[in-house]
Every structure is written in C-alpha cells, then in structure tokens.
Structure 1
Amino acid sequence: MTARQQDTGTQDPDKGRQGKALMRRIARGRAFARFNLVVERLAPGLVWPACALALYLSCSWLGLFHAVPFALRIVLLLLLVGGFFAGFWPLRRFKIPTRAEAERRLERENGLAHQAVSVAGDRPARETPEALALWHAHQRRMAEKLGSLDPGHARADFSAVDPYGLRAVPALLLFVAFLYSGATGSGRLADAFLPPAEESETALALRFDAWISPPPYTRQAPVYLQADGVDQVENIPEGSVLTVRLSGEGADAPISFQPDNADAPQAPNEAEESAMMRGARFTLSSSGLLEAAGRQWMIGVVPDELPVIAFKGRPRAAANGALELEYTLTDDYGVTAARAEIAPSGGVDADATPLYPPPEFPLNMPSRSSADHSAFTSRNLTEHPLSGKPVTITLVAEDAAGHVARSAPLDMVLPARNFYNLLAGSVAEQRQIFALDTRAMPEALQYSAAITLRPEETIPDLTQFLLIKSAQTRMLLAHDEESYLDTAEYLWEIATGIEDGALSDAERRLREAQDALSEALRDGASDAEIARLMEELRQAMQEYLSEMAERMQPSEMQPGDQQALRQRDLDNLLNQLENLARSGDRAAAQQLLSELQRMMNNIQPPSSMAQQGGQQNSEMREQIDKLGELIQEQQRLMNETFELDQQLRDREQWGDPPPRQDGEQSQGGERQRSPQEMTAEELREALRQLQEQQQALSEQLGEMQEKLSELGMPPAEGFGRAGEAMDGAAESLGEGEGQGALEGQGNALEALRQGAQQMMNSMMAQGQGQQGQQGPNGQTGWGSQAGRDPLGRNQGTDGLDFGDDVQVPDEFTVERAREILDAIRERLNEDAPLPSEPPYLERLLEPDAGN
C-alpha cells in the first residue's frame, strides 16, 4: 500500500460514505443560498411593477374605471401599463449568483472561517503524498466545523429603489379595495377595457323604493308603495315614518310630501343625496300628497285617539283600610301607563310644608277578557298622612304616542286605618299633625305631652310609656327633613305595634311582596325573577296568616271559619298566578294578583282591643319597671348636673357671690345651701359627689342586663352603649367637669331609650303580645263580611270565588300557551330564512304582545 492510498483512506468505506453525505449537504445549502441571493437581487427590481399592478386592481375593484369617462380611462390605463413596464428597468443589471458567491453567503450565514465550505471540494496544487496527507487533515478539520448548514433567509434591501417607503400606499389601497369589492361588488377587472359603446349601455334604470313603517306600538306591518300600483293608501297610523329612495338614471328627481293642513311641503326628517341616489324620510302627522319619480300618492293618516279613563263606581275601602279603585280604560292602540293622582282638598294651607309627597297609586291595565275594558286596583295607603283626610282623586292614562288623558276629579275622604286602641290612635294622630305640616310640630308635642301627663291612668303598659317618651325626645330634637322622616316612621311603628304587635310587620311584608310582584309583571321581568318574587309572596302570606291565627282566641272562631280558609285554595291561586305569568299572559296574571290583594285586604285581623287583657310575665314586668325607674333617675341626675355646671360657669365669669348676712343658720343648725349660694370650689365638690350616684346607676344597669339575659332576652346594643356612657360621665364628674358629664349623661339617656325599643321589638318577636278579645260590635278577628268569608268569598263557596270579572284560564289553555311560546323560542334560535322573521318572533315574545 502506498502512502497516497493510506492518506486518501479509500480503503475505509465509512469515511467514504461520510464524505458523500457531507458533499450532498453542502450542495443543498449552496442551492438555497443561491436562491436567497436571487430573491435579494430580483425583489427590489419588482417593487414598481408590483405597485403598478396593485393600483390597477384597486382602481378596478373600487369602480374607478367604470365611473370615469372613456378618454380619462384610457389615459389612466396607459399610465399604469407604462409604469408597469418601466418598473423593470432596474433589472437590466441583474446577474445570476455564482457558485463561489453562494458558498461565501453560506459561510457568512453559519459563521465559518477559512472557506470551510469550498475546502471540501478543492484539491492541493501539488498532489504529493505529503501534500495530500496535509490537505486531507485540513479537510477533516473543516468538515468537523460544518455540522448542519443553515442557508438563512432572503433579506431584500428596498431602500435603494424606495427610500421613502411609498410602496405601502398601493398595498394599503389594494387591501381596502378588495374588502370594498367583496362587500358591494362595485367593480370588475375588465372595466378598463370596455369600449365606449358598452359604457353607455351600463347606465342604470330608475329604481323607486318607498314604504311606510307604522310605530312599533301599533303592531302593524309596513306598507310598501308600488311605482305602478294603486295611487292611494288609507288607514296609516299617525306617527308612521314614510321612507322614499330613488336610484339610477333620473334619481335627482324631487321628493316632496304636502300635508293637507299645511300651505308648504313638509321638510323631511332625514335626507340623503348622491350622484346616483336620492332619499328622504318623513314623519306623518296628517294626511297628504306624496310626489316622487313623476307620480303621486294620496296617503290617508288616521289620528291617534286620546285614551279614555273614567271611574266605574265610587272608590271604596277594604277591611284593612286599603283603597280600592274600579275604572274603565280604553285606547285605540293600548295604554302604556295609568295612575291615580291623589291631592289634598278642602281648606289646604298654601304655606304648609308637608313631610311626604302625594301618595303614588299606579293602576293595573284591563285584561283582554274584560268586555267593558274595566280594571281593578287595590293599594294600602293607610300609612300615608293624608289617610282620613279629604282628597281629590284624578285618574290619568298615557298611551305610547305620548297622549295623556284625565278623568273627572272625584272628592272623597281617603280611607284610614281603624285604631281600636285609643293610645295607638293618639300616637298616629300626633304623627299625622306634623307630617302634614312640619310647622305644626309644637302642636304634636302638646298632644304627646298630654297623654303622658298621668301615665299611670292612661298608659298602663310601661313599655309603651317608654316608647312614647323616647318619641317625644325625637320630636324635640328633629331639625331637618331626615330627622322629621325618622321621627314619623318611629311614631307609626309605635302606633301599629301598640295596635297589632308583630301582625303589623307581617302585613307590611305581605304588602311589599305584592307590590314587588305587581311591578315585575308590569315591567316584563324574566321567569326567574317572577319565580323568586312568587316564593317571597308565598312566604309573606304564610307568615301573615300564621301570625293572625296565633293571635286569635278559640272563642273568636265562628262555625265554619276553619273550613272557609283552606291552604289548598291559596296554593291553587298562587300556582295559577305563576303559571299565567310564565306562559306570557302577564295581563291575566296582573288581574289575578289584584283579586288576591282584594281578598287579603278584606281579611279582618283580630282587633287590638282584644289584646289588652293578657297577663305579662311578672319577672319581665319587674325588670321593665326597673328600667323605667333607671331612666327617670338618669334624667334627674342629668338635670342636677346641668344646674351645677351652669352655676359654675357663672362663677368662673363673674366671681363668687357675696356671703349672706342673715338667715345663715337655721334653728336646727346650719341649713343646706342652694347652688346659687355656693362658691366655685363648692360647686366643683358638689359635682364630684354626684359621681357615686352615676356609678350606682351604671351598676344597676349591669344587674338589669344580667337578669334580662337569664329571662331569655337577647342583649340590646343600646344598653351596652348606655353603660359605657354612664362610666364616662362618672369619670368626668369625679374630675369636676360638668360639660363632659352632661354629654355622657345625654348619650346614656338616648341609649337607654334605644335599648328599651330594642327590648320591645324582641318581646314582640318572641310572642310577648297579649291575647285578644272581641272588637267593636262584637266582631271577631275572623268576623264575617256581609256574608263573606275572610277571603271575600260567598259563604258556602267551594274554592275561590272571583266573581264575574275575572276569567281564569283552565289548565289546558295555560299548557297550550306554554307550548306555543316554546315553539317560538325554538324557531328564534334557528337560522331564519327571511331577515324580517326574527324581529316578528321577538315581538311575539314581548309580555304585552297580546294586549
């Protein structure tokens, strides 16, 4: 074997295969590198031809060639064609990259030195054994550096041919033209090559489109006007919108609408005009003549009538004092809102400042089954100060067009709550006095002071006495609207608490639940919201009936009462109400709810007079007496502290009084000196001596709290604050600070009154109220109502009796209505074949679609 053979290694097959693989890898990388070089040299020269082509496409898609005259089109086309071919001029210097250039590019991309790529295929100048051995060793070292060759990416340099980046303008224009053409189909690529004869044939014929859109509340379909059809259109609702559009050749023709009751044409609400289209939109308020495209149409407009609302019989009061109104309500397209305006009448002082605005009384809409369009609304206004006063009631109705109608006013005395307990009625009267005119607060205070003048005779219940005394304090401290309102609400709670106890709270919750459900039905609430409000109404009704039943004596039950009020009747009524609401018949549900309110308003609660003879727990009574004595003692101590502090301030400003020369001693020794005779130091000492009394009151309060806790009463926050205030006042008295002590004593007194109120509320919640007895005229809590049971039904009726005005759908009707609604919703979720179908289906699902 020669040295040449050993150096070349031809005997090693593996090395031969590795060498061939390396050469293939180098050849592949060289080819990609040469391609990148071709792209980098060719792309800058193709910029301007591509820009000319993009401008041609943009002009075609935007319809420019179609719109401009033929001569201008030819000039524009020649410029684009010339620019396209002129853009190839820089390519005259284009050269195909050589093998060596591709290898140098490949070496630069991979960071190879010493021409590592070309070494693999080169040969030494002298092929001696020593030179070949050295050359092969050099090749092996270079091959180890090659690895995987990355040809890189083409990076064309456009700065030489387009230093300002103008090529972005045709690119952006091409993008906009493509989107515009795809949406409107405005232009074609062949428009630039159309001859002049064909261009004249592309003129569009005149197109006439006109339609009348009635207002949505009329639920009428649009009316289309035909260019070659009838020339008269009748029965168009007032407020409809007339839309006219002309397009094509002759679209510049005038469009006008001349009302019959006007001397000049009506100005359009909206107008649009372009080279090939003219449009106008008019709101029709009266009949008139439409002129467009050389034709005329007579359009007859039907005026929107005013709604009509009137009383149907005189308003009446329910058993619980709720105001019941029955009325008739009609309109050509339906009333959107109705209410009763209640205003005071008689000798009303013009300078009076009432605390509450006039009561709100929204009215229910008539049901579709009502033959005379009558409706009924019941609402409890006994809490408003105007109850029991002369008022004027006017019914107001408003339709969707904004027309407002009013009924003839009716004068009556607004129904008020009957207070069988004289003390409760007196408290309610005090509230009414200053609520109707805040300037009359002194008069209300005189009334309140009168009933507490001899409390042992007029107020046998100490809790009620404490509440009334705390109300007097609030009345004295009231100074703004918020404090006046707070005082009025507090007095009403006292009055209803004395009269009915916890039953009044249950009745309020029931009324609030009924009002919330009624408002949700009017506003078209969702099924989930209706279900939630129905559950709240069930709970409130159950609590009210349970509270009423607990307060009744067995002797008060008349024969048949236990069977007259059956739970299944109420359950059936509530289930029927919920089914009507969920099936979409909100008007029938509203009417049924009104009947339910009427029945519940006519339930006679057990009279408050029947609750005065019960016995209270002796230990609880003892603690209540102690609380009253504690409040009185705290008030006395506060008065004494105030007198000493005032005298001390006088001494600090004017000095000590001169000593008395006569009568200094009494027959029995030294007499007790009054604060007016004491010096400043003596007054401070007198204040310090009051510390023990204040501390003793604080200890008594703590003992009373422990006793109440043992009796099962929950802790009252007011008593806790009172104890802290008492301790602070005692500390100030020990330092001789009268002002600080007065502030603490005042806070303690107010906290004691609040604690007394909290204790009363707790007693009410725990059923501490007394048992009842018969009311006036021997009427019991469940007393009959002119031959009717507590729900207002005729005696002996099996189930619920709604009278002649309420048509309750049967189960089949409700189920059928629900199936129809489900079918409409399913159709709405599908792809509609016509664009007008989804809005029509959505209108069918509206709560008032059937009215």
Structure 2
Amino acid sequence: MPRQTTPLTPVLNRLRRPLTLTWAGLIAERIVRAFWPVWTVIAACAAALILGLHDSLPLELVWSAMIAALLALLVFAGLGARAFRWPGREDALARLDASLPGHPLTALQDAQTVGSGDPASEALWRAHQARMAERAAQARAVEPDLKLARRDPFGLRYVALLGLVVALLFGSVWRVGSVAGLTPGGSAALASGPTWEGWIEPPAHTGLPSLYLNDQKGEISVPEGSRVTLRLYGEVGALSVSETVSDRTEDIGAATDPEQAFDITRAGTLTIDGPGGRSWTILALADLPPAVEVLREGAETTFDGQMSQPFRASDDYGVTGGTATFRLDMAALERRYGLSTAPEPREPITLDLPMPITGDRVEFTETLIDNLSQHPWAHLPVTLELRVEDASGNTGRSTLEKMALPARRFFDPLAAAVIEQRRDLLWSKANARRVTQVLRAVSYRPEDGLFRRETDYLKLRVVLRRLETLLHHDSLTDEARDETAQALWDLAIALEEGDIGDALERMRAAQERLSEAMKNGASPEEIERLMQELREATNDYMRQKIQQAQRDQQNGDQDQMGQTPEDAMRMTQQDLQDMMDRIQDLMEQGRMAEAQQALEEFQRMMENMRVTQGQGGQQGQNPGQQAMEGLAETLRNQQGLSDEAFRDLQEQFNPDAQAGQNQGNEGRDGGQGRGQSHQQQGQQGQGQGGQPGQPGGQGQQPGDRQAEQGGPGGDLADRQEALRRELERQRGNLPGGGSEAGEAAREALERADRAMEGAEEALRGDELAEALDRQSEAMEALRDGMRNLGEAMAENRRQQQGGQGQARGEVGQQQSDPLGRLSGEGGQVGTQDSLLQGEDVYRRARELLDEIRRRSGEGERPDIELDYLKRLLDRF
C-alpha cells in the first residue's frame, strides 16, 4: 500500500538537515541539564588529585572525601538518568516550528474541514498551504539552550572548571597515580613501583622560575641558595637520595625519608637511587656583588649650588639600594688661615643613591642630586665613594673619586668673605675669636658701595656683636654656633644676590664689557668668557624677576601682575637664550657690527621685559590662546616677507627707485611704518622690527643682499625657510586634536607649509612673481587655520561648560593634579614650587607614581583625566 503523503512531506524532505541539527541540539541540551552536576564533581576531584592535595592531607580525611565524592557522583548520575528524556522527531519538529512565525509546519499538517467542496474556499485553503510551505522552507536549525544559570546560581561548574585549569597549569598528572598507594597495605603502590617528584626553587630576588626535576636531565645551572624539595612515593626504602650540594651537617635525616628539602650552596651531584631514579650535575652560580662607578661626564653644579652627579650601577639580579659617602680629604687640604686649627670631628656626608622607579635594576644610570652648599666642607677637597647592595647582602664599592665638594660659589667679595668666616666658625669653635676680628676689620668704616643696602651692614654688626657676647660669657655652644652660621649664610646670600636692581646692574655691566670687547677686537677666548658672564648675569636677573613675580602674586598684587605697559615686551627664558645664541653665532662668524646691533636690541628688550608665568605664555592664557597668538605672529611675519618680495620685484623694473619713495609700499617689518620700508644698514624704520635673526627682523639693502647671497632672493629665501620651520613647530604643538575643527586647522597649516616651501624654492630661483603667489596662498591658508582653531577653542569651551570641566572643583576651591599642582587661571595647571625639594625626593617620586596608578584605576573619573593619567604612566 503506498505511503500516505501530506503537504508537509515534501517540506520535511527539504528540511532534513536543519531538523537533524535541531534534534542533535535537543540531545545536547537535555544531557547538559541532566548531568552537569556529574561533570562538576568529576572536574573538582581531578583538580584535587592533579594538585596533589591527597598527599598533604590526613589519610582519613582523604578517604572521607573520596567516599563523599563517589556517593555524590552516583546520586547525581541517578538523578540525571531519571530526568533525562531522549528527544523524538516530534520534539525536534516542534522546536523548529516554534522558531518560525505562524507555526507553518503545524499548519501544513492540518486538513480543511470547513468549506470543503466549495471551489473558492478550497482555492483559499491551497493559497494558505502554499504560503505556509514558503515559510517552512526558510527554516534554520535552532541552537540549543545550554545556559544553566537558573540551575546553578552559584556557578559551581565554573569553580570546578577553574580548579581543573589551574591544576593542569601548575600541577602534574603523575600525582594521580599516587592515589593507589592510599589503599590498605599499599598493594597498588607496590604493583606500580616507587615514584618520586622534585623541584628546585631559585631565591625570590633572582626572579627565575622554579625547575621541575622530573623534566630535567644531565646538567642543571641554578643560583646559589636555591631550595631543593624532593618527595618519594611508594614503599619506604625503595628510593633514597644522595647529594653533595648542600653541605648539611645537622638535622640531615635519613636518605629514604619521603620528604626532603635542602639548599644548594656549592656545585655537586644530586642522585635519586632506586627504580626509576635519576642523577643530575648541579652547577651553583654564585651571586656576584654589584658594581658601581662615578661618571664624570654630565656632572654639574647649578648657580645655587645644586649638585648633579651621575653614576652607573649594575648587578646580575638587580641593585636594591646604595649610598654616596663624602669624606674630607685631609691630605689634599691646604691648612692655612682658619683651616690651620684642628677640626672638630664630623661624620662623613652620607646620601642615599636614587634607584629607578620603573624597570629592572640590573644595569642603570642615575643622577645623585643634592645641595651641600651650607655644609662646612663646601669647596674643600673630599673623596666620594659610592656603595651599592643587592638582595643577597653583597656590596660593591666604587673607586675613590677626589673632588672639591660641589657647592654654591659667591662672586661678590664681601659675600665670599662672610662665607669663608662662616666656614672657619663651623670648622672649629676655636676660630670664633679670629672670625670676630676678621668681620670687624671688614666692616670697619666700609667704603661706599661695599654694602648695597644699609640693612646688610646692620645685619653684619648684629651677628658680630652676638658672637662677641657669646665669647665673652664663654657660652658658645654648638646650637649657638649653628644659629650664628645660619645668620652668616643668610647675610651672604643677601650680599651676593641683592635685589632685582642689583641683578639688572650686573647684567648691564656684563653687556657693556662684552660690547667694549667686541669694539676693541678682543680675542675669541675673551669674548667667549664675557659671553658666559652675560649668560650667568641674565639667568640671575631672570631668577630675580621670577621671584619678584611670585612674591607679588603671594601678596595679592593682582593689578600689578595683570597689567603691562604697552611698550613692554613679553619674553620667555628660552627666547632670551635663543637671542644670546644668535649673538654668539654672529661673533663667531666675524659679523661684529650685526652682533653689536643685536646686543643693543637685547639690552633694550631686557629692560622692557615682563616675566610671565606659565609655560612660556602670558599669564592667564591657555594653550589655545598661545597657539592663536603664535599663528598671528607668523602671519604678520609672512606678510612682511611678502611686502619685501613685492618691493624687490618693483625695484627690478625700476632700479632708480630710492628708499622710501614708493608710495603705498609697506615696510619690511610686516607692514609697520608706511614709506619707510628701506631700512638703512644699522638703522630701524618707524616701529621696531622683529628680533635679529627672525623673519621680519632687521635687514639690509637690496644691493647688499645681492652681493652676499648672489641674488635678490637669497636672504628672503633663508628667512622664508626659518618661518616655515617655525610653522612646523607650531603645528606640532597645536591643540584641539580629535575635533573636526582642530583637524581642519591642521590641514590648513599643512597647506600653508607647502605654500611656504614653494615660495622658498621660488625665492632661491629669483622668481619673485611666483614667490608672491605662493606667499599669498600661505597667508590665506594661515587665515583658514586660525579661523578653524578659533572654532575648535569655542567648541572646547562649550564642552567644558556642559559638564566636562567639573574636575576643576567647585567655586572657591582648588584641586590639585596627581603631581600636587594647583589649577591656575585660564585652565592652566602648574606650580612655581620646586617638586625636587625635601629630605627624600625619590620617596616623594614613588608616592606620586603610586598616586597616579591609584587614580588611573578609578573608573568614575572623566575620560580626559584617565587618558592623561595613562600618558603619565606610559611616560614614566
């Protein structure tokens, strides 16, 4: 009899594969739900056996755990078998039908009962069947639901799986075989024969991994002090241990003990005798002492006496710490004046060596930084010895380095005399009377100018009278002596540094001496010495200006800090260094006239200068404002170059034109001074030009440029190149990255860079018309970049007002960054306080690094702050 077919039959023939996969998924799903406790118990037991827990627990407890595990396994297996139901074809068909909209498989099994015989009703039924068949043809295999969260709310299956993974990584499958030895009489152990395990653990400070002896063969090299652990399984006496590496003399125990442990102290052999035994040759690597040396290159002392002494240290496993010891070198000391007296005993100067905060300490170079200017041995001959230590207690020492103890130098004669008497007083209290005599002689009827201020003279007299009183009453104790020495130190500092007016006078005097030397044709060595003197005087003046600005800010003189005369110039210390480098370069090239002119310009700028706080910008400016001003200055300089190129182009066609006669002609200083574009050699047009050596600076007449450069565009090309390099620097520091407007600003500056490069090439080829076109493109691109940068800054301000700026704290509060710096005006962050002060700057550095790591782990902080902290960690 033929098999009865239904509309579902052809559909099922096409859905045979998804139906089979769905059926297999049902089987897996029911097996997992029924038997997951069985797998959990098996995984937990396997993890315990591989880790060898049965070897370290009492036998009774092990047997109890094994019986409980076996009972649990049988119970869970029985419950699983009772709950498991083998899925049929109908179950798979129902699962597949439930995944389809409208249950088409069930619909295909239905038969028409209403309207049969009616052609219209039958046609509708056939259309319904056809639509259901189309839906059924789209069926896909249904994935099984293997989730057990409801059945295993505590995640016991994951705990057992984690234990098994850990056991496979750190345990040994060989330990499972030792279970047989736990049976009564140990028959299984005897049947399988004796076994053993062993490990060699190097000392922790070496950072080396442990060695599993079962995997080692032949010769083994390990550090001295490594710990050997052996375990012998099976019948006691079947295996024994012999070794010549430990030098043990006490508590040795029997060679057949099941557990043995000892340290490797020398090279030798290690042997396990018996069935399956093995022998090794052990090479004991000695822990070498660390090495350290003093590096002369890079050693320096700042103007205020801060010493920087580099050193290099190394060790086979890492240096843990060290000290630097300065001892007075009496053999090299010139014993005269106050030093002829026998010195009072003093302990050597001992400083902790800085260690790297990150990275290993196997080999590193660091710098010892400290200020020993107030020590009695300042500038006296000493010996420096470095000592380092490793984790094993081994020490290494450097060779004795002879030197004068680095300290501050005093150039003012009176300040130097006061410091010398202070040294003699600290050398020995027996010098006290001599000190009073010298100080009284120095201060008796002082000449005009010896004391810059009357208060300094009065301070010296007060110190002198107090010291004489102490001597008269024989009460010069160590404490009183130290207080007097401190007063003399403060007086010497005041005499040496003076006030800002004194610093300015010293700088002016240095400038005048250098100017005279250039005019008189002094030797290069003399000029170099005077140039260095000018640098030191300028640095001293800058330091005084900064200190004055800090005092004004602390005193709340905001009006004075916030106002600047219109003719004053805003300069950074780097700008001044660049100008002095330019002056020195001109002198080395023999261009004394230009160097003299640059020196005069430098002097005027220093007198009109206002020191600004922050990172080289004006007070209250953020990086975006600084970038905007820099681009504006670049645009002005580019305009000046373009005007000069246009004038040179005019003069090519009108060689008889005289200086300043071209009406409407802009000056070479970027448009300053109409009608005075042709500056004569050594003169300036109305409105000062740029700095020497910079675009828009003082130039030469066209004929002079042609003579020196070989063409009218040579000098302009060099200045165009310098301006392009300045633009490249500004592009590298441009803020607003990541925003659409910021990226548009960068693209505009890249166009300006390419246009400037084209203008430079055209100028070198004396193609002034082409250069003007390229310069026009550069100025247009610069304007676009400034406009886009302004949009990026405005967008950034809107974002901060929208809530991203809450990290700054509430009104009236100041919050510090991870380095302890307070937020300044305009969103700037900084501090004028030195972060490298205190008794232990390296401990402070470690604390800062720990604080940065702690804050970087707080996910509730703003993303911008977390990114900043991450960059700090990557950097340090």
Normalised TM-score (structure 2): 0.34
Larger Cα Rg: Structure 1 or Structure 2? 1
Normalised TM-score (structure 1): 0.35
Structure with bigger RCO (C-alpha 8 Å, 6+ apart): 1
